[in-house]
Structure formats: structure tokens, C-alpha cells
Chains A and B, each alone.
Chain A
Amino acid sequence: MTLEVVEPGLQTTIQDAGRPNWTQLGVPVGGACDPWSLAVANLLAGADAGAAALEMTIVGPTLRVREPTLIGLAGADLGGVVRGSGRRLEPGRTYSLAAGSTIAFPGGDGAAGARSYVALPGGVDVREILGSRSTLLSAGFGGFEGRALRAGDLVRGSTAPDSPGRERSWPWLDFDPLAAATGPDPITLRLVAGPADGVDPLVAGEWRVRPDSDRIGLRLEPTSDGPPLPASGELLTHGVVRGAVQLPPGGTPLVLLADHQTTGGYPIAGVVARADHPVLGQLRPGAAVRFVAVTPDEARRAFVEQARALERGAAACRADDWDELWLSAGR
């Protein structure tokens, strides 16, 4: 139930489904950058879909298992391995870990995606602040003292595993919202136009994720000469959402991610469809992306489909006879 951080990795934080109810006080919603993988890891581990888990970024931590535990793993394949035995830890399943063993996530190849989630039974046990356990790095609260994990931190699950030793896989049922993120470049993102002008040049161009991207936003630069973006002025500051593509002056659009500020003053030419937010959270610096325009209703249908797939997976995770159920569901 307890994991000791031996090496922290590049940026490992505690994240859950975020704190949506404090935006009027300027608190970013935050939460996991890839909400789908957070949910899958949690459901596998026997936690609620929105419970707190470890979010690993590109290079994950090395963790010593102090007490036997079950973990759920989902998201990018960051090369997870059990030290000694050499057993691979691939995303999309649970692993039963013996006390004294050490697991490491040294990083996957460039096509692997950026983030992966380690979930524990009952969710990671840290204090809830403003309705969430998510780490908000910019304001320094949530998770472990508002910071990324350090060597020596002890990460505990909230409950004992239901059935220790019993490992399971996620029933994919031919539905993987991350398929695009691990496919060939450029990665296609669906975009709902507006509220400001400028969606046409966004859709016509091809873009690359710049290295100065983080949990607040992905900064894009054009990969080739495309049609120019509209001249950008500053608007009266207004509320903004995750996935919004802001057009600041200078031709480098900013796609708002989990920890974005609640308000902003740059024109928003489009918003990445909610169904593609998991992919957004998986984009590494250097990834090439294209946008394709969809209507709000098309974007909504895609998200409904994703939510239903998650619900089918959750039902399978709750079922007593797991194997039989997920086999029949896949038929």
C-alpha cells in the first residue's frame, strides 16, 4: 500500500479529476492532463474514476514497494519495469507488487506519449484541498505540499486492495482514445471553431509542440509557411476553458491545458474537442499536430461515445467474474 520515492522522475505529481468549483476565486481547475488514462488506471486499481493517482511525465519515478500492493497503470508506455526480475510494466493493466521490489519508469520512445498514471486501491491518500487532491504547482498547494514528488516521499493508497494478487487488463473493446497520440505524425485534433476568428489558418497549417510547453499550456509553432493567423490584439479578459487555442501576438498559438488560468485576454480561435483532451495531455515537445474543424454537436457525440466506453470498462472492473464479463462484452 505504500510506495517510497527513490528517484522522483522529471515531474511526478498527484492528480485527480481537479477542482471545478473554485474558478470564481481564480483557482485553475487543474487535475490530470489525460483524464481518460487517470480514469482507466483508477478503475483497474479499484478506485473511483476521478480519484488521486501519480501523474508521471516523460521520465517517471523509481519507486520502492514497502508493503505488498496492487497498482493500476494507464497512459503512455514509459518503459516501466520491475527491477531485478525485469518484468515489464505495460499500461492498461494491474500489477501485483511484492514488498521490497523496486519499479522504475525510465521513459519510453518518442512515440509513446508524455504521461502515464499509477493508481492505488482507494486512490492516493493525501489531504483534500478545495474538494480535490490535485497538485497545483503554480499556486503551491495540493498533493505533496503543492510540489512535484521528491526522493523520500511516501505515497500511500487509501484502502487495502480487494483481491491482492489478482491481475487484470483493461477491456479495450476496440476503443482507444489515445490511438491518435501514439500513431504517426501529424496527430489530428478535432477543433470547435470560435468564439473569435482565426480557425481557418489554424486548420490549414501544420503545427509543432514547442519545448516551452507545460501543464498550463502547449505552445505551438508552424512547421511550414501556412496562411497567416489573424492580427491579434488583446481583448477584454474573459473566462477560458481547457483546450482553448489562444492566439497571442507573435504567431505561436497556446493550447490551454489542465492548469490554465481561469481567465485570459487573447482571442480564442477554437477549442479542442473534449474527446481529444486525453490526446492533448499526451503530446510531447516536438510532436506535429493538425486541426480538423468539427461542430459542437459532433464534438459532443464523440465525447458521449468516449464516456460510454469508459462506463463499459468500469462495469467490467466492478464485475465479480471479470474475465467472463469482459470477454462477452468484447464480442
Chain B
Amino acid sequence: MLPSIRPMGESAVLVTLGDTIDPPVAARARAIAAAVDADGRLGRAVPAYASVLVPFDPLALSVAAAGRIVEGLVGRLAGRLAEEAPNAIDVAAAGRLVEIAVRYGGEDGPDLDEVARLHGLRPDDVVEIHASQEYDAFFLGFAPGFAYLGPVPASIATPRLDVPRPRVPAGSVAIGGAQTAVYPTETPGGWRLVGRTAAILWDVDRHPPSLIAPGDRVRFVPIR
């Protein structure tokens, strides 16, 4: 059945690979996006957890024609993967390891105590668990340089706030469900703030402007 390819207007198709947050599926979405970009007949693809948005120029292509091109790319990718080791895609798509120094708790992480309380843990336990993982950067969205990182262990995964904060300071490190992220710039936000980093996540004068790229791995390092 999957993947499905459906039109999103006359200028894009959405490729859906599944309906769960699963690192190998997200890696496959990024691999399809890379194949779309390399092909050159379509616009810049937007991968997410289990989907790829493929925009294209409607003056050049119909939805049907674009769908056939995407179908071909997805099929060729699946064939190539079948010939390689089952985990080849993780290796092929693996990016750099990015280490981010974080001051946890206090003013830097105003929700740390509440996250600990909700899980019956001490704040130090939450810090230890959060900083002991290597997270996948599944994709970027929400704001420039905002990487959806995960999976976060169930022992500290925490639902978003009912009412988002109107302003989250740049550099805030947060947990939202089974994801974690760093807010690159001051924006509204509903995730639980557990710490803050001095690292510059987004800088338009840097190349590339984003510290974290899709497919990178991220580790948080606690500092005092």
C-alpha cells in the first residue's frame, strides 16, 4: 500500500511513507528528498517524519506527470536499498555528530522541575537521561534552523504545554512529546523548556546558516 503519492494543490505532491515516528522511516524520507533534489525536474523537497513534500513548476508539469517522476525515484531508491544491507540507509543518510553544551534548570530551564515531577524523577535524573542519548535530526521545520530531534526516552517524554508561551528565548532546549529541540530564535513555543545553550543555532551570515542539518546526530552536554 505505502508509499502513497497524493496531490497537494496543482503544484505539489505529498509522498506518505507511514504514520509513526521511526528513525529508519525518517531516514528514508530524507533519502527520497535527496533523490528529488538530485533529479532536477522538480522543486526543493521537504522531508518530515514519514513524508516528503515535492513541489514542482505547474507550468512545466501536471500533477500526474510529477507523480510519475516521483514514483520512479521512490521505486529506484527502494530497489537500490533492497540490494544493500537492511540498515544501509541509516549509514548512507547519517550526518555529522553535533555536540551542544546546555545549562539545565533554573532560569535557563524553567520547566525542568515540572518535567521531573510528572515522571516521579529528580531534576538531575531528567538531565542525565536527556544528555545520555544521541538524537537523530529527523528534519527541520517550524522556524529556520529548528530541528526535530528524537526519539526521547519514554521516561522523560512529556506532552506540550496546553497554552504555548508567546516568547521562548533563543537557545532554549525543550522537550515536546517524544521529541526534543533547540529554539534557534525567539519565537512562540509550546514545548517544555529544560535548559538553554549559548550555541548559535541559526545565523544567516554563516554557511550553512543552520548548526544542525537534517540527518545529523545531536548530543547534549550538561555544563554548570
Contacts and interface: CB of A to CB of B under 8 A. Distances in A.
Interface string A261-273: 1110000100111
Contacts of B14: 195, 238-239
A268 B52 CA distance: 15
B133 interface: no
A307 B19 CA distance: 37
Given A130-B209, A237-B148, A239-B53, A274 B204 contact: no
Contacts of B46: 23-24, 239, 262-263
Interface stretch (A155-163, A297-305, A322-330): A297-305
A238 B48 contact: yes
A303 B185 CA distance: 36
Contacts, number: 142
A116 B16 CA distance: 38
Given A20-B44, A240-B53, A304-B58, A296 B144 contact: no
A89 interface: no
A192 B187 CA distance: 32
Interface in A237-262: 237-241, 243-244, 261-262
A14 to B, nearest CB: 15
A25 B59 contact: no
A229 B213 CA distance: 37
A240 to B, nearest CB: 7
B9 A241 contact: yes
Interface string B7-24: 111111010100111000
Interface centre among A20, A140, A300 (most CB of B within 10 A): A300
Interface of A: 20-28, 129-130, 136, 138-141, 192, 194-195, 235-241, 243-244, 261-263, 268, 271-274, 296-297, 299-300, 303-304, 307
> When A and B form their complex, which 9 residue pairs have the shortest distance between CB atoms, in order from nearest?
A239-B53, A271-B9, A263-B141, A239-B46, A299-B10, A26-B140, A238-B51, A296-B63, A195-B6
Given A26-B142, A138-B143, 4 more contacts: A238-B16, A239-B45, A263-B46, A299-B9
